[in-house]
Amino acid sequence: MHPQLLYDLARYRTEQKYAEAEQKRLVLLAAGRRPTLRARTARKLFEAAVALEGEETWRIVWEKLQARRRL
């Protein structure tokens, strides 16, 4: 595949996941529940990784979050 197409596809998927997470967060806020410290920290880390536009960076952050969840 063309590298730009892969990049665009990955970016689209990332934006979709981010939008879904934001929607879930808004639902929790509307219900009067506050996200956990872990969730807030993960969101900030993910935002920072996406802002840096480093595909490898966000992948590392995601792997670390998944590793903590498996423990």
Instruction: Please name the amino acid found at residue 71.
Output: L
| Predicted model pTM | 0.44
User: How many angstroms separate the CA atoms of 66 and 60, rounded?
Assistant: 10
22 compared with 46, residue with greater pLDDT: 22
Instruction: Please name the amino acid found at residue 57.
Output: T
The percentage of residues in the chain with a pLDDT greater than 90, rounded to a whole number, is: 4
With beta carbons less than 8 A apart as the criterion, state whether 56 and 68 touch. no
68 compared with 11, residue with greater pLDDT: 11
Q: For residue 16, count CB atoms less than 10 angstroms from its CB and return exposed for 0-12, middle for 13-18, buried for 19 or more.
A: exposed
User: How many angstroms separate the CA atoms of 49 and 53, rounded?
Assistant: 7
